Structure formats: C-alpha cells, structure tokens
Amino acid sequence: MNSDVLPKLLDPEVELDPYAFYRDLRARSPVHFDESVGAYLITRHSDVSACYRNPAFSTQNYAWQLEPIMGRTMLQLDGREHARVRGLLTPAFRGHGLSNWLGVVESNVTAILDGTVQRTLDFLLARFRPGDEVDIVSAFGRYYPVFVIADMLALPKEDHGRFYGWYCAQTAFVSNLARDPIIDAEGVAATRDLAEYLAPFVRYRRESPGADLISLLATSKIDGRFLEDTEVITHATHLLNAGSETTDRTLANLLTHLLSDRARFEEVREDRTLIAAAISETLRFTPPSQMNGRLTTDALSVAGIDIPPESLVMLVMASANRDERRFIDPETFNMHRTDLDHESAFTGTGEHFAFGYGRHFCLGAQVAQLEIRASLTAFLDRFPEMHLADGYVPRSRGIKMRSPVEVRVVL
C-alpha cells in the first residue's frame, strides 16, 4: 500500500490490512483528513499520547456516537462543560463526584465478581471435551463476557440470550463508522428494550437489595443522594458495553497469537507469569478497539497540521501501537519485549492506549482483565493440547473494532 494516492479508511482494501495503511500514514501523512469518515486520523504514538492529555480534544462527539445507546455517562465529562445537566447525567458525576462513583464501583466490583467469572466459565466450558473442534468465538467468546455481566447484574439465566441480543445490536451501533441507518435504528431499539427490561429490577432492588451490581448502584449515595433509576440503567448499560466487547475480541486475538505459533502457547502454559505479558502484547499488537474519536473545542495544530475547532478526530491506537519511533520491531508479536510496561496494561496509563487514557480510561478494563486472565488459564488447564484446526488460518475483520471473525481450534 504505497501508491501516490492514499486509500480511504472505509475502503475494502484497508479492512483487509489496516496496519499497512497506518504505516503509510505515519510516514507520509501522520495527521490525515479522511473524507470517508469526515475525521482527522492521528497515527503517531507521541501525537496520540499528547492528544489524550489535551482537554481541547473533548468527548463531546459521544453525544451522537454513544449517547443514543448508552445515555450520557462519565465518558462524556471532560471538565470543560459549564451547564449543569439533568436526566441521565447529573452534577454528581463531575470532578470529585465522578471519583467517588468510580471508587464505589471499584471497591465492590471484585467482591461481586468473586465466583461470577468461574461460574460462567464452568457453564460454558462444560460442553467441551478434549479433541472437540470448535470455533472459540461463536461457541464461547461472544457469550462469556456478556453472561458475566448479566450474572453480576443478577438477571435470570433464562434471559441471558435476550441480553446477548441487545448487546450485539448496541456494539454494532458503536462500530458503525459509515452510520448505516438500519444498524443505528437497531441499536437504539435495543437500548430502549434493555432499559424497559432493567427498570423493574432497579425498582425492586432499591427496596430489597442483594449482592449484585444493580443493588450496588441503586443503593449507593453520591454526594449525599441516591442515583435515579435512569442513571442506574445508564451505568449498567455502560458496563455491559465497556467490558464485554473488549474481552470477546481480546481473547480471540490472544488465542490467535498464541496458537499461530504454538511454541508461544506452550511457553505460557508452562510459565504462567507470562500471562500478563501475553495479554499486554496482544493489546499493543492487535488492540480490539482500533481508534477513539474526539471533537476539538479549539483551533489546534498537531504535527504541523492545523485542525479547526469542532473537528472530529480519530486517535488511531492501532497505528500508535506499531509506531517505529516508539517500539522496537513493532510489527512483530513479542511477549518478551522490554519497551512495554505489562503492569500498566489495564490502567489509565497503559502505553498501548487499548482502554483509552487518563480520566477517560475504560471502566470495564478491570473486569476485562479478570475475565481474560481467567479464561486463558482455564483453556491452559483444561485443554493443554489445544491447537488451531488443520489448515485453518484466522482472518480479522473490522475497522473501529477488530478481531478474527472465528478462531477454529481442536481442544
């Protein structure tokens, strides 16, 4: 991909190999306006890092990219808003109030997760036997994180399938860079149906709380007041979307990398201290979320390119993570690389930006970390001879969210 005219982000050839496209952009046009999505693509690691730190790159774009399916969540707070908003977002979720809310969730989520992940793993893996040929994505990965969240919310088991359907429609909305109206409408309808479904659970558990996430949200006080029902539903929906797709896609990418060169799988199986490195390198090499959008609030200049106010900008983490200026031999998957801090992989300072950065760090990251570690450990323990099916080569798809559409293995 080295012609004089650069392709567009939504061109089919880019989806086949976006990393070649990003390599060209870093070399020839590191801040590049792409007409197909109406956005500036920022592709070098240092520039992406600087933009994440600059409050003039706001999350106001989430008003149309996320709000129709998630409502207004903490993702949209950037400290520059002046109006006090009502509805799904209130002043309690600004500044100190936001920190309080995160503290409430983080201090309790581990307790809620205890047993939940293992129960879900046992339920899904009970169908599999050594020697079975299965597609990990369709038979396990897509359901696993959604069922974990549904269990954290203490929803009836018989409704988990409906919950999964709503999740699929919502994630399709988020990935819909082309803004296909049918996909958008299905996402909005799923959000409406999910909210109607959750509402009676919220009301009941506010009066009769249990050891679940809905009860935690419904009975927690923030700045002296309880969350409204709509706020509880909004943040439960956000947690579903924040962690589930990340887990699903990261697990597919991780197993692809470990099984494409089975010596890696065997190395991790024998030395479990490498699990963290395998996951963090996967997040660098093939981040499930390839880019994050921002909206400029002021006129800005990045790498010598002027960007007008109210411009849509895409911070392309998938490109930044393979920037030759930042990483040694970036096009190679290497669990032993010394230029990546594995300990910060699931924090707001992760060098791969896979979960965002700073105050807009993805709340679902810690849930995703536990889910990915637990599932990989389960596969290593239960299916030590696991390998890719004969002749099968995983193929990744997607521009905004990317991972193999299937990972066919023999357990």
182 is a domain residue = yes
More confident position, 81 or 297:
297
Burial pattern 367-388, b for ≥16 Cβ within 10 A else e, equals bbbbbbbbbbebbbeebeebeb
Question: Smallest Cα–Cα separation from 346: which of 242, 236, 238?
Answer: 242
Residue 3 within any structural domain of the chain: no
- Of 21-25, 119-123, 283-287, 364-368, least confident by mean pLDDT is 364-368
**Quick check: is 1 in a domain?**
no
Tell me the pLDDT tens digit for each residue of 151-171: 888 899 888 888 888 888 888
Residues 231 and 234: their CA atoms lie apart, in Å, by 5
Residue with tokens 């999740």: 167
Residue 244 has phi, psi (to 5 degrees) of -70, -50
> Distance from CA of residue 248 to its chain's centroid?
9
d(C-alpha 315, C-alpha 352), whole Å? 12
Alpha-carbon gap, residue 124 to 119, rounded angstroms: 9
Q: Is the pLDDT of residue 234 over 60?
A: yes
Whether the predicted pLDDT of 88 surpasses 50: no
Q: Give the tens place of pLDDT for each residue, 170-216.
A: 888 877 777 888 988 898 899 899 999 999 999 999 999 998 888 98
What pLDDT does residue 61 have?
52
Q: What percent of the chain has pLDDT over 70?
A: 82
Q: What is the pLDDT of residue 360?
A: 54
Amino acid at 37: V
Nearest to 51 by CA among 344, 353, 401: 353
- Reported as a pLDDT band with limits 50, 70 and 90, residue 93 is very low
Could you read off the pLDDT of 334-384 as tens digits, one per residue? 999 999 988 777 766 677 787 776 655 565 677 788 889 999 999 999 999
Say how far apart CA 196 and CA 41 lie, in whole Å.
Answer: 38
Q: Which CATH number characterizes residue 114's domain?
A: 1.10.630.10
Task: Please answer whether residues 299 and 366 qualify as being in contact, where contact means their C-beta atoms are separated by less than 8 angstroms.
Answer: no
Beta pairing partners, 132: none
Average pLDDT over residues 263-291: 96
Residue 4 lies in a domain: no
Domain membership of residue 300 (yes or no) is yes
Cα angle value 289/398/48 (rounded, 5°): 35
Residue 282 lies in a domain: yes
CB-based contacts of 131-134 (< 8 A; 24+ apart in sequence): 131/410, 131/411, 132/410, 132/411, 133/389, 133/408, 133/409, 133/410, 133/411, 134/408, 134/409, 134/411
The rounded distance, in Å, linking the Cα atoms of 255 and 264 is 10
Tokens in use for 199?
């509402």
Residue 278 is assigned to a structural domain of this protein:
yes
Q: Residue 140: which of 297, 331, 375, 373 has the closest Cα?
A: 375
**Axis-axis angle for helices 365-382, 275-285 (nearest 10):** 120
7 part of a folded domain: no
Domain residues for 247?
A: 12-410
305-328 pLDDT, tens digit per residue, is 999 999 999 999 999 999 999 999
Q: Is the pLDDT of residue 83 over 60?
A: no
Checking if the pLDDT of 101 tops 60, the result is no
pLDDT at 331: 98
In angstroms, what CA-CA distances link 291 with 43, 72, 140?
10, 20, 25
Tell me what pLDDT residue 79 has.
Answer: 46
Structural domain count, the chain: 1
| 312-315 and 39-42 strand pairing | parallel
